[in-house]
């Protein structure tokens, strides 16, 4: 697999269920398409039924073009990563169905947008790219099978380039409505330190920190982080708003020339989600590994390997859950962790 996992290397996935966030476009769509092509059941987690159904219809059409003869099993759940309350509802709905999720692919995300807050008061890139997936993952843990279950977190090479301090403090990522407001004319710390690029790098660092922490604490699960490469997708849609029209146009022009196609961007995700080499004893790569194109395992950044930083992110994430969703949700997460150990 280190020489390049391709879509031809995906095994027969009949009988397995995959949940892919942000599956209606880009890498997520291609991931869902090729999982379905190889007979996996795919649950598309998207912000709206309209987007999900359009993707499902497109996948069915494309599968016919690719020569697939089976009836693809495709389902949908609504998932808005910008609202932790809705994320928790979606996760609990998945668990209530009682269907196992063999592989969870945390693919959705935003990139380099202007400073803004989620519904919960979180800096939007940290809130969407990390906290939304943190809550969803921790609440669906009961339906991810022990020993065989996998979690794939989409990170980026950008995790090497966060803020100089690596991971910010709680008040640098969260505007607590219960806290005193800044003095007139002053910015909240989350806005004062904000730059679109470093914030994106921080959120992608969180994806690897979370991967490595969860892998260490949950030895019966296999958890991987993935850098898909520089891919031409809608993820770059916010660059114009953050840096201006000229930069946005230039970025789109460069992307159209040098960036990978979404299908190639999905290859590393598909390797981490499906490769039989990861089922070997011992596996080709241990849980907690960081994959780069196309299925090659390499070293993550020094920040990402810092166990103290992994622990601090976990504690900060739990505290955010406590402040936004309440103590009962924190206890639910603690129970889920204990049940899968």
Task: Delimit the domains of the chain by residue range.
Answer: 7-334
Reduced to 3 states (helix: H, G, I; strand: E, B; else coil), residue 209 is helix
Neighbours of 53 (CB within 10 A): 15
- Report which secondary-structure segment, H or E, holds 77: strand 74-78
198 vs 15: CA distance, rounded Å: 41
Q: What is the pLDDT of residue 233?
A: 58
Closest CA to 5 of 255, 287, 276, 224: 276
For every residue of 119-148, DSSP letters joined together read TTSBBHHHIIIIIHHHHHHHHHGGGSPTTT
State which fold the 7-334 domain adopts.
Answer: Rossmann fold (3.40.50)
According to DSSP, residue 178 is labeled T
Active site residues: 200
- Cα pseudo-dihedral 144, 147, 153, 154, rounded to 10: -110
Q: What is the pLDDT of residue 253?
A: 37
232 vs 258: CA distance, rounded Å: 8
333 vs 244: CA distance, rounded Å: 41
Q: What is the pLDDT of residue 206?
A: 98
Q: φ and ψ at 152, to 5 degrees? A: -120, 120
User: Residue 340: which residues within 8 A CB-CB, separation 6 or more?
Assistant: 141, 142, 144, 146, 218, 220, 221
**How large is the angle between the packed helices 327-339 and 132-140, nearest 10 degrees?**
50
Angle at the Cα of 321 (from 200 to 136), degrees rounded to 5? 70
Q: What is the pLDDT of residue 257?
A: 39
Query: Which residues of the chain fall below pLDDT 70?
Result: 1-3, 231-259, 340-341
As given in the structure block, the two tokens for residue 336 are 């889920």
Rg from Cα positions in the chain:
19
As given in the structure block, the two tokens for residue 190 are 């989350």
As given in the structure block, the two tokens for residue 24 are 């209606």
Q: What is the pLDDT of residue 299?
A: 97
Looking at every residue in the chain, the average pLDDT score rounds to 91
User: Residue 14: which residues within 8 A CB-CB, separation 6 or more?
Assistant: 39, 40
pTM above 0.95, yes or no: no
Q: Count Cα atoms within 13 angstroms, Cβ side, for 27.
A: 30
pLDDT in tens, 194-236: 999 999 999 999 999 999 999 999 999 999 999 999 865 555 4
**227 within 8 A of 292, measured Cβ to Cβ:** yes
320 vs 84: CA distance, rounded Å: 10
pLDDT in tens, 52-84: 999 999 999 999 998 888 999 999 999 999 999
């Amino acid at each position: 697999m280190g020489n390049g996992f391709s879509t031809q290397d995906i095994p027969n996935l009949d009988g397995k269920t995959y949940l892919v966030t942000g599956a209606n476009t880009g890498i997520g769509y291609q991931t869902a398409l090729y999982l379905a092509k190889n007979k996996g059941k795919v649950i598309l987690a998207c912000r709206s039924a309209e987007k999900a159904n359009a993707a499902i219809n497109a996948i069915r059409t494309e599968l016919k073009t690719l020569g697939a003869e089976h009836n693809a099993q495709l389902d949908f759940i609504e998932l808005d990563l910008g609202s932790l309350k809705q994320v928790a509802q979606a996760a609990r709905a998945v668990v209530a169905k009682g269907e196992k999720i063999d592989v969870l692919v945390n693919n959705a995300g935003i990139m380099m947008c202007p400073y803004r807050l989620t519904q919960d008061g979180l800096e939007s890139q940290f809130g969407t790219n990390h906290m939304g997936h943190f809550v969803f993952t921790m609440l669906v843990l009961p339906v991810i099978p022990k020993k065989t279950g996998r979690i794939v977190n989409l990170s980026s090479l950008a995790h090497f380039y966060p803020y100089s301090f690596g991971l910010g403090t709680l008040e640098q990522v969260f505007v607590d409505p219960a806290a005193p407001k800044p003095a007139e004319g002053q910015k909240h710390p989350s806005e004062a330190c904000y730059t679109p690029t470093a914030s994106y790098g921080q959120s992608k660092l969180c994806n690897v920190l979370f991967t490595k922490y969860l892998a260490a604490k949950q030895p019966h699960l296999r958890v991987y982080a993935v850098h898909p490469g520089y891919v031409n997708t809608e993820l770059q849609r916010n660059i114009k708003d953050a840096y201006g029209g000229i930069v946005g146009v230039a970025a789109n022009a460069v992307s159209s020339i040098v960036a990978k196609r979404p299908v190639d961007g999905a290859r590393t995700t598909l390797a981490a989600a499906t490769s039989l080499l990861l089922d070997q004893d011992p596996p080709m790569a241990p849980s907690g590994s960081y994959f780069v194109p196309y299925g090659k395992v390499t070293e993550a950044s020094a920040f990402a390997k810092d166990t103290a930083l992994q622990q601090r992110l976990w504690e900060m994430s739990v505290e955010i859950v406590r402040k936004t969703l309440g103590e009962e949700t924190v206890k639910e997460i603690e129970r889920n962790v204990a049940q899968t150990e």
